[in-house]
Amino acid sequence: MEWKIGNVTIPNQIVVAPMAGITNASFRLTAREFGAGLVVCEMISDKGIKYHNEKTLGMLFIDPKEHPVSIQIFGGDKESLVNAARFVAENTSADIIDINMGCPVKKVVKLDAGSHWLLDPDKVYDVVHAVSSAIDKPVTVKMRTGWDDDHLYAVENALAAQEGGAAAIAMHGRTRAQFYSGHSNWDILHDVAEKLTIPFMGNGDIKTPEDAKFMIEEVGADAAMVGRAVLGNLWKLNAMEHYIETGELLPEPTVREKVNIAKLQLERLVDLKGEHVGVPEFRQQAAYYLKGIPHAVRTRAKVMNEDSMQAVFDTLDQFVESYEQREARSPKIS
């Protein structure tokens, strides 16, 4: 089902969350092809933009085929965020600009950035109003339910962002204190969804097509924002979208199909960053693709030591062949 963030049409209700070190242009493009309605860039530092840091500016690359796409910025200073948003709006083809108010990581929080904003709804209003007034692209905010259990300003912060001119809100159902442990609190997300008049993306612990449908139909979100569950499982995006639309569960891909997606991912990463950077960066992804497949431990270890794309391809192909031979030999139980 189509929906809108400002004037930007999102073709379905599955959104891929920004993930540091992962949601670069190559990952985002593949995620779009596998069924994501919207993809969000890994967070980009306002200071990196200000000082024209080469690595930061490289992260702003957008492939023409990945639209609609959102670029997420973070920082602890209103003026600096405004300038970063202006730079992104004027120098990239981003459809949407997102402000990170959710990152729990210490080195981000100590800059008064990320989750630190959640301690004061007035500051949330102030910065969102300043950024949304400065650019003509839709501004969204990604936040958590609160700083800790004593500072749960989920509804207040979401309403402050809406009042400040945000075109949509994404919220992760954990506090900053929880990081990624414990459970995502969908009851709080339900309270927020009920109060907002702008679109709301619910995030945290969406692992299956059923979870995604529950987030939309029971929690009341306009879209399900998926993060870690799609690492090595990009096909899940299509499965979630299909289940929301039809109520039908798609079969899991074969091991060969999963490995082919992994190879596509690596190829795109190498196209984007070169072999020297792309292959080492892919190693972590390879572990996700092989997770849960019987007899994959040795292959995973071997991939970790490969330096060329061809060597990784060969290792993965050998694994698939031996896996399929083993399957063909094993007696089938009818």
Judge whether residue 105 has pLDDT over 70. yes
Q: Is residue 333 part of a domain?
A: no
5: burial class by Cβ within 10 Å (0-12, 13-18, 19+)?
buried
CATH code for position 157: 3.20.20.70
Question: Which of 197, 224, 246 is the last residue before a domain boundary?
Answer: 246
* Ramachandran area for residue 292 (φ above 0: left; ψ -120 to 50: alpha; else beta): left
Other Cβ atoms less than 10 A from the Cβ of 125: the count is 20
Supply the pLDDT for residue 109: 81
What average pLDDT does range 54-81 have in this prediction?
A: 95
Quick: pLDDT tens for 124-177: 999 999 999 999 999 999 999 999 999 899 999 999 999 999 999 999 999 999
Query: 168-175 and 139-146 as β-strands: parallel, antiparallel, unpaired?
Result: parallel
Q: 16 with 163, same domain?
A: yes
Q: 69 with 104, same domain?
A: yes
Helix, strand, coil percent content, the chain, rounded in steps of 5: 50, 15, 35
Give the residue numbers spanning the domain of 287: 255-327
- On the question of a cis peptide bond just before residue 331, with omega within 30 degrees of 0, the verdict is no
Q: 51 with 79, same domain?
A: yes
- Please tell me the total count of domains within the chain: 2
What average pLDDT does range 199-208 have in this prediction?
A: 98
**How far, in Å, CA of 121 to CA of 158, rounded?**
8
Q: 230 with 301, same domain?
A: no
Mean residue pLDDT of the chain comes to 95
What average pLDDT does range 57-69 have in this prediction?
A: 96
Judge whether residue 24 has pLDDT over 80. yes
Q: Is residue 332 part of a domain?
A: no
Judge whether residue 334 has pLDDT over 60. no
Q: 39 with 143, same domain?
A: yes
Residue 203 in contact with residue 173, Cβ under 8 Å?
yes
**How far, in Å, CA of 140 to CA of 72, rounded?**
9
Q: Is residue 276 part of a domain?
A: yes
Question: Which of 215, 246, 277 is the last residue before a domain boundary?
Answer: 246
Q: 292 with 319, same domain?
A: yes
**CA torsion angle 246 185 223 73 (round to 10):** -150
Give me the catalytic one of 22, 36, 103, 237: 103
Could you tell me the two tokens for 315?
């290792």
Q: Is residue 289 part of a domain?
A: yes
Tell me if residue 103 is catalytic.
yes
**How far, in Å, CA of 102 to CA of 99, rounded?**
9
Q: Is residue 334 part of a domain?
A: no
Quick: pLDDT tens for 275-293: 999 999 998 889 999 999 9
Could you tell me the two tokens for 104?
């729990």
CATH code for position 312: 1.10.1200
Q: Is residue 207 part of a domain?
A: yes
Q: 233 with 279, same domain?
A: no
Q: Is residue 85 part of a domain?
A: yes
pTM, to two decimals: 0.94
Question: Which of 246, 266, 299 is the last residue before a domain boundary?
Answer: 246
Q: 183 with 276, same domain?
A: no
Q: 260 with 174, same domain?
A: no
78: burial class by Cβ within 10 Å (0-12, 13-18, 19+)?
middle
Q: Is residue 223 part of a domain?
A: yes
**How far, in Å, CA of 279 to CA of 122, rounded?**
44
Judge whether residue 107 has pLDDT over 90. no
Supply the pLDDT for residue 19: 94
Residue 262 in contact with residue 288, Cβ under 8 Å?
no
Q: 176 with 285, same domain?
A: no
